[in-house]
Chains A and B, each alone.
Chain A
Amino acid sequence: MKPITPAVKTWLLLGALLAGRPCPLASAKSDSPRRGGTLHLVHPTDWRSLDPAIAFDADAAPIQKLLFRGLLNFGEGIELVADQAADWSVSPEGRIYTFQLRPGACFAHGREVEAEDYIFSFERILDPKTGSPGQTYFLDILGAEQFNRGQAAHVSGLRAPDRRTLVIELKQPRFVFRYVLAMNFANVLPRELVRRYGSDFQYHLIGSGPYCVSEWRRNIRWRFERNPYYSGSDGFVDAVEIMIGGDAMLHAMMLERGELDRALAGPAEAVRFQRDPRLRRFLQRVDTANTDYLFLNTEMKPFDDVRVRRAMNHALDKERYIRLAGSFGTVAHGIVPPAMPWSNPGLPACDHDPAAARALLREAGYPDGFKTELWFILSRPADARIAAGIQQDLREIGVKADLKPVSYAAFEVKVRSRREVPCGLWGWMEDYPDPSNFLDVLLNGDRITDADCNNQAFYNNPNVNARLEQAGASNDPDERLRLFREAESLVMRDAPWVPILHEQIPVLNSPRLRGNRPHPVWLWRLEQMWIDD
C-alpha cells in the first residue's frame, strides 16, 4: 500500500473541512488502565476554594480527591475502605475510633503523615476563625464544643499516643461519624505548612493525594501533576488540566473537536448527543443520590391539612416533569434516593390521579381549589420548567399557583423562615451515604427553628422524630434500616413533600477517556481515569 503523501493529506484535510463536520470522535481501544498523558477538563467557574476545610461543593469533591486524602474513603460503592489508615477499629459501644496510619503515606512536600497532622486538621475545622462549613460534623467529638467556643486549647477527644496512632473519642455513639471521616473535610493537611501560610494556605495547597498543584491561575486554569511521594494505587494520568470558563455549548464543541476529555452537558447538548447516533455513546448518565421535591409548608394553610398535601401528591405528573427537565432523572417515590443502598424500594408509588386529587380537595373543604404561591430559584432553568408544569397540573384540580421565581440568596432566606413560603421547589444531595442525611436533616421536627431551618416543610411528627433519634443513637445497621424505613413510610403518609425526581447528571466523555465509572458518593473519580490514545 502506498504511503499518503503530504499533498494527499492536505487535500484530505481540506475535504474534511469542506464537508463541514468537526473531526469525528474516534472509537474505543483498550480497557486495561494505562499510565501517562494529560486529562483535559473544564469547569464553568473557579471553585471558591479547594481547601478541605472550606470547600463544600459537590463538584469540588472529585477535584479535591486528586490532592487530598484522609483515613477512610469509599470503595467502588458506599462501603468504607481504609485509605491512609493501615487498620482501624471502633469500640464495641461505638464511641472510640482507633486508627493505625499507613507507613509511607506522605505529603507532596515529602514528609510522612503523622497522627498529629490529623488532630491539627480536625481542630482547624472546629476553629471558628477558619470559617469551615464542616464544623458541625465534628462537634460529636468529645471536647469539640468547648474548643469551638474557645473554652479549651485542644479537643480532648483527639489523641495521638504515637506518631502513627490516632484515637478519636466521641461524646456518645454515633454511627454516621465513620462516614464523616470519609468526607473531604476529614482530609489531612501538613500542619507546619498550614501554620506558615495561615488563611493563604488555599494558595499553597498541599495534601497527601496522588497529585499536587503545579499551576493555578485563578479563574483561568488549574494544572495538577503527580505527587512524587504518593505511594497509593490511584492516579493513572501524568497531569490533569482544567480550563475555567465557558458554557455547556462551548464545552460540547471543544469536546467534539478533541480539546477536552470530559465535560458536563447542558440540557440542549445532552439532547443533541442523545439523538445523534454518532454521538450517543459519548453521553453518560450519572445517577446522583439526590431528591428534587416540592415542599408543602405544613404550618401554613391550606397545607396544614394532610388531605390537601395528599391531593398535591396525586395532582402532579412527574413523568412529564422529567421530560421537561431534559429526560435526565428518574421518578421519585420516596425521600431517600435509590442511588443510596438504604433506600426503600418497597414504598408505594403515588400515582398521577387528578380525580383522586379533586376528591381529596373536596373532602378537605376546597371544592373549588385555592390560590397559592409556588417558589423556585430563578437561576435553575430546569426548576423553571418543572414549576410551569406543576402550575398546569394544579390548574387541572382547580388550584391556582402563582409562580414566584426568586434569586438563590432570597430563596435561601425565605424558605428557611417560619410561615413565609407556602410551597416551593428544592433539591438535596447526600453529604454521606446514610438516610439520616435526608430524613434527620430535612424532616426531623425536633430540629425546627424560626429561621435558618432545613426543614422547609416545617413538618413535625413526634413518631417520626422518635424513630430518627433512635436510629441516630443505634450502632446496629439492621435496626437503623428498620427505623429509617418506618420513619420514611410515616413521612410519605403525612405527605409534607411531593418527591419529584432523582437527578441524573449528563456528562460527555471523549472516546480516549477510560475508567470513567460513576461513583455513588463522589459522582466520578478522576484519579481512576486514564487516557487511551
Chain B
Amino acid sequence: MLARLVTRLFWSGITLFGTAILTFVLVNAVPGDVARVIAGSKASPEVIRQVHARYHLDEPLWKRLGHYLAQLGLGDLGYSFVTDQPVTEALLTRLPATAALACVAIVMWMLMAVPLGVLTAKHRGSWLDRSVLVVSTVGISLPSFWLARLLQYWLSYKLGWFPVAGLHSLAHLLLPAATLALLAVGYYARLIHSNMVQVLQCPYVQAARARGASEASVLFKHALRNALIPVVTILGMDVAALLGGVLFVENVFALPGIGTLAVQSVFNLDVPVIMGTVIISALIVVAANLVVDILYRWIDPRIKTAH
C-alpha cells in the first residue's frame, strides 16, 4: 500500500511539474510586451524599462522558467503583475468561495441524484425513468454559462427569489450551486440507476429479500451502498469538469472565487496569477484522484484483497 502511495505521489508530482512547464511556455508565448500591460499605455519608456528590470522580462524564456520553477519548488507562486499581491494570498482568499460553491453543488446534486437513481432503478421503464434519461441527456449537453445566465435572469432578475450576484450569505450560493447541480444531477442519477439495476440482480440482494428484509432496507442498505462505489470514482474524476463549470458559473454570478480570478488574470495578462490558478486547479484534480484512489480501497475491500 505504501509503495503504491509513493508511486502515485511521484506521478502526481510529475503531472504538476509538466503542467507548470507547459502553462509557463504557453502563457509566455503570447506576443507583445507584458510591461505595457502592467504600466499602462501612457507610461514613459523609462517606466517600461523599470518594469522590465523588476520582473526580469528581458531575460530569455528558459532562464525565466528556471527561476519560476526554483521559486515554485519553495512553494512561492510569485507576485501578481497587476496588483503586486502574493499569488498564494490571492488564491487562498478566493479558495473558500470556490470550495463552498463546489461543496454545496455536490451536496445538492447527490441529494437529488441518489433518490432519483434508486427510484428509476426500482421503476424501470416508468415515466420517471424516461424523464430522468431526458434530463440527463439535456444536462450533459447544456453549457454551464448559458444555464447560469438563464436561471439568473428568471429566478433572480425577473422573480427576485435569489440575489442577482455577489457573495454575502449562503443565499448567494444557492443559485450558482443549483446551476452546477442541475447540469450533473441527470448524469449521476443515470449512473446510480445503472449500478442499482445490476446490484439488484445480485444474489445477496435476493438473499436479503428472502430473509424478509423490507424493500427500503434492500434498496438503501444492501443495494445502494454497493451501487455507490463506482460513483465515488467518477466523482473524483469529475472534479476537473466541476472546476471548469465553476469557472463559468462564478463569473456569471460574480462570485469571488478561483474562477473569476482566472478569467481576470487572463484578461490582464497577469502571468503569475494565470500560472497560479492553473497550478492550483491541477493540484486539486491530482489530489482528488489520489484521495479517491485511497478511499476506494477503504470503501471496497475487494480491491485491497485483489492486490
- Taking A46-B83, A413-B32 as known contacts, 7 extra A-B pairs with beta carbons closer than 8 A to each other, sorted by chain A number, are A17-B161, A128-B46, A217-B93, A220-B167, A245-B254, A253-B153, A409-B34
A408 touches B42 (CB 8 A): no
Which of A169-215 touch B at CB < 8 Å? 199, 202
A409 touches B40 (CB 8 A): no
- In-complex Cβ contact of A45 among B39, B47, B264 (8 A): B264
* Interface-facing stretch out of B13-21, B48-56, B99-107, B135-143: B48-56
Q: Assuming A56-B40, A133-B39, A250-B165, is B32 touching A409 (CB within 8 A)?
A: yes
A253 touches B152 (CB 8 A): yes
Query: Max chain B CB contacts within 10 Å: which of A131, A217, A244, A431?
Result: A131
CA distance A108 to B257 in the complex (A): 32
> Is B66 an interface residue when CB atoms closer than 8 A count as contact?
no
> Is B164 an interface residue when CB atoms closer than 8 A count as contact?
yes
A219 touches B164 (CB 8 A): no
Interface size on B, residues (CB 8 A): 54
- Closest B residue to A252 by beta carbon equals B157
Q: Assuming A45-B268, A57-B40, A412-B36, is B164 touching A257 (CB within 8 A)?
A: yes
> Is A20 an interface residue when CB atoms closer than 8 A count as contact?
yes
A56 touches B30 (CB 8 A): no
> Is A146 an interface residue when CB atoms closer than 8 A count as contact?
no
CA distance A217 to B97 in the complex (A): 13
A408 touches B84 (CB 8 A): no
> Is B159 an interface residue when CB atoms closer than 8 A count as contact?
yes
B165 touches A245 (CB 8 A): yes
- In-complex Cβ contact of A20 among B38, B90, B159 (8 A): B159
A133 touches B264 (CB 8 A): no
Which of A1-59 touch B at CB < 8 Å? 17, 20-23, 45-46, 48-49, 56-57
> Is A407 an interface residue when CB atoms closer than 8 A count as contact?
yes
B157 touches A253 (CB 8 A): yes
Q: Assuming A217-B93, A253-B157, is B166 touching A243 (CB within 8 A)?
A: yes
Subset of 14 A-B contacts with CB under 8 Å:
A20-B159, A48-B84, A56-B43, A128-B46, A131-B50, A135-B46, A199-B84, A202-B84, A219-B90, A219-B261, A243-B254, A250-B252, A250-B253, A449-B45
B254 touches A250 (CB 8 A): yes
Residues of A within 8 A of B30 (CB): 407, 409-410
Which of A114-140 touch B at CB < 8 Å? 128, 131-133, 135-136
> Is A254 an interface residue when CB atoms closer than 8 A count as contact?
yes
> Is B115 an interface residue when CB atoms closer than 8 A count as contact?
no
Residues of A within 8 A of B48 (CB): 452
> Is A411 an interface residue when CB atoms closer than 8 A count as contact?
yes
A218 touches B36 (CB 8 A): no
Q: Assuming A56-B40, A219-B261, is B31 touching A254 (CB within 8 A)?
A: no
Residues of B within 8 A of A76 (CB): none
CA distance A220 to B98 in the complex (A): 13
- In-complex Cβ contact of B43 among A133, A246, A408, A409 (8 A): A133
CA distance A253 to B82 in the complex (A): 29
> Is B206 an interface residue when CB atoms closer than 8 A count as contact?
no
Residues of B within 8 A of A220 (CB): 93, 167, 256
> Is B244 an interface residue when CB atoms closer than 8 A count as contact?
no
B269 touches A409 (CB 8 A): yes
> Is B33 an interface residue when CB atoms closer than 8 A count as contact?
yes
CA distance A243 to B167 in the complex (A): 10
- In-complex Cβ contact of B41 among A48, A245, A412 (8 A): A412
B160 touches A257 (CB 8 A): yes
CA distance A383 to B84 in the complex (A): 30
Residues of A within 8 A of B46 (CB): 128, 135-136
CB distance from A411 to the nearest CB of B (A): 7
A413 touches B33 (CB 8 A): yes
- In-complex Cβ contact of B164 among A17, A253, A406 (8 A): A253
